[in-house]
Amino acid sequence: MQEIFNLINEMSPYLLLGFGIAGLMHTFVPGRLYSHYLSEKGMRSVFYAAALGVPLPLCSCGVLPTAMSLRREGASKGATTSFLIATPQTGIDSIMATYSLMGLPFAILRPVAALVTALLGGMLVNAFDHTEDSRTAADVSTEETTTYTTIKDKLIGALKYGYVDMMQDIGKWLVIGLIVAGLITIGVPDGFFAQFAHRPLIGMLLVLACAVPMYLCATGSIPIAVALMLKGMTPGAALVLLMAGPAVNVASILVIRKVLGGRTLWLYLAAIVGGALAFALGVDHLLPREWFTSSLTAISAPCHAHMPWFNILCSIILALMLMYALLRRYFRHGQHECQCGGECATGCTTECVHADDASNSGIAIYHVGGMHCNHCRNSVMRAVGNLPGVESVEVDLQSGVMAVSGMADATAVIQIIESLGFTAVKQ
């Protein structure tokens, strides 16, 4: 397991920096900026969607409701598809982590590949899918509901978003990625993937078959790719995992099929799969292998007694922050007694709502399915909060319970949640 400890120590400073930059982007870049440039028709909106999506720190599930909200605001199918392809493949946090573990060539190639495949996907949809629905006017804002009045508030919000909210969303998948990397290190024989060295396409297709149904985030896929490369996998096949793993999973396939249609789904898959294979073959056949493998030497070193104290300190800080974020998410919201002695329907997130008297107080209770991160929760709250008659919305991520106060029509609430790719049932 020495490789895993080396991997964590190499990655931790860049992860902490990446989370911090992501927080600054979240609070200092207005949310409406994205919808403004994506609402145009044609190739320019496809380019804007790809360019804005590459650095945006959204996880694989968080990008779905964001993209669906943009679609509701009038973004073309091409722009929406481009955003869906570019955003989950990379982000400022995963770019930093990729550089720390896999070197500069991978750190440059990964966002370039995301940009190119996103442009390809958007162009294909614009060219071959001309079916547009009638929802072109915006009645849902993608701008964050939280407003910051001072620089101090923005900095505090950036710290909370980067080191609490993002770690809650990505932390589980990062830990899973490290565990899978450890299992690969232990269970896969050394040089196992070397047998595909002369048949790289077979190795890439094998990785693709495993990556597509899995749920991988852009950051969590990095330790898995590193572990596989240490077992002999080619850099091109590792790139396939880094591209296809975060961008394609069962949840995204189902949502895109439901909201954008079957033709857009097939064009979306063709752009990702075709682009990943094309870039992978180019890496293996046109570029020196040493560019992509030299950084693995430090990770596979048998002894790291000279590991800088700064890296170790960053690893300890990262571990403590991950523990805090995951404990806060998974153990704070359980059913418990609140101050008034009753059992809360929404997990006592902000407002205490009791299931037995919700109907008598003008509060409707819904169960929302498919939410996996804070981006999902915030998208639901923004969408429902903008409906006529809604006074306030509270959503508990863990239980999926949503409390809506006011006189909103239940059918409208369910429809707007389903338009984001989730399911909703009124209790």
Q: Could you give the 3-state DSSP secondary structure of residue 290?
A: helix
| Percent of the chain residues past pLDDT 70, beyond the cut | 78
Question: DSSP assignment, residue 73?
Answer: T
Q: What is the pLDDT of residues 345-379, one digit of tens each?
A: 545 444 455 445 455 557 889 999 888 778 788 88
Residue 426 bridge partners (DSSP): 366
Q: How many Å apart are CA 3 and CA 302, to the nearest integer?
A: 8
Q: What is the pLDDT of residues 159-216, one digit of tens each?
A: 888 888 878 877 777 787 777 777 776 777 766 777 776 777 888 888 888 777 677 7
Put simply, whether the predicted model's pTM sits higher than 0.75 gets the answer no
Asked if the model's pLDDT at residue 264 lies above 80, the reply is yes
Where are the chain's structural domains?
2-316, 359-426
Angle (CA) 105-111-112 rounded to 5° is: 80
Q: How many Å apart are CA 288 and CA 241, to the nearest integer?
A: 19
How long is the chain? Answer: 427
Please provide the CATH number assigned to the domain covering 359-426.
Answer: 3.30.70.100
| Residue found under tokens 């547009």 | 132
More confident of the two residues 115 and 245: 115
Q: Which two tokens stand for residue 311?
A: 């890296």
Average of per-residue pLDDT across 261-279: 92
What pLDDT does 18 receive? 79
Q: State the angle between helix axes of 77-89 and 43-53 in degrees (0 to 180), rounded to the nearest 10.
A: 20
Q: Which residues of 324-335 are buried (b: 16+ CB within 10 A; e: fewer)?
A: ebeeebeeebee
The answer to whether the CB of 317 falls within 8 A of the CB of 374 is no
Q: What is the pLDDT of residues 90-109, one digit of tens each?
A: 888 889 889 988 889 999 99
